[in-house]
Amino acid sequence: MTKNIEKFAGLHKEGMIFLDALAAQNDPIFFNANKEVYTKHIKEPLEKLNSALEPCVKAIDPELDTRAKRTLCRIRKDARYAKDNPYRTHMWMSYKPADRSNTDYFTYFFYYDTAYYEIGIGFYGYHKELMEEFRHRIDANPALFKSVLEAIKMDKYKLEGEQYKRPIKKFDLSNPIAEWYNRKGFYVYLRKPLDSKVYSEELVNEIEEAFFDLVPLYDFVLGRKVRFEKQKI
């Protein structure tokens, strides 16, 4: 599906070993002593993966920022959350427009730790305004949203996100819309254990397939014309 991905040959097992070791000794002394390992076996492979995914991401939405400095998470945590464990032991990439952040957009993402990886889309935390707009679109055209759910084949993906204790709107539980409507935010993802695909160029196609699967949901949530046909690059 993707052209010119020869520069990405997969994530590195050495990077996973480093993350495990960092979990056991999460401090600047250990990290600085092994910074070259992080750069070579985590940062550089992710930069190559990001570059390989750029045609796919731009085909979905040309406004999404694909610069590595904007898509790749930093290994060092925000100082507010870094008192005892200053470094992350998992990594992710996320895509949003240049003027938006993960917390104020419906964001495509790829995540991995030393046990599994996830590919998906969703809200990072809660976003009241976007969720209200999402519910208004469902109210205006429930049939279209049902078509979206059928198109993305939710038997393949998982839906998560905190629900309101008191439902905003009551639904017949057999209605597929019910589990979407009464949430403060949500994310949809595919989770798989680390396997040989992760350590090869095949990971690109895996991510592309999931990203394209979720295009109808991306369009619906953002209030765009819903694309049901699988895109090609």
Give the 3-state secondary structure percentages of the chain, helix then strand then coil, rounded to 5.
Answer: 45, 15, 40
Residue 178 clears pLDDT 80, i.e. is over it: yes
pLDDT band at 233 (very low <50, low <70, confident <90, very high): low
In a domain, 3, yes or no: no
Q: Give the full edge-to-edge strand order of the sheet including 187-193.
A: 91-95, 106-112, 116-123, 187-193, 158-160
Q: Does 148 fall in a domain? A: yes
Note whether residue 21 is domain-resident: yes
Q: Are 46 and 69 in contact (CB under 8 A)?
A: no
Does residue 232 lie within any of the structural domains? no
Residue 142 lies in a domain: yes
Q: Please indicate, yes or no, if residue 173 is contained in any of the structural domains.
A: yes
In CATH, what number is assigned to the domain containing residue 114? Answer: 3.30.930.20
Q: Which domain holds residue 172?
A: 13-221
Task: Output phi, psi for 77, to 5 deg.
Answer: -70, 160
pLDDT at 126: 79
Single-letter code of the amino acid located at 113:
D
| Number of domains forming the structure of the chain | 1
Overall pTM > 0.85: yes
Q: Which among 231, 224, 206 has a CA at the least distance from the CA of 106?
A: 224
In a domain, 51, yes or no: yes
pLDDT at 81 over 80: no
Residue 2 lies in a domain: no
Confidence of residue 18 (pLDDT cuts 50, 70, 90): very high
Residue 167: CB atoms within 10 Å: 11
How large is the average pLDDT for residues 46-52?
97
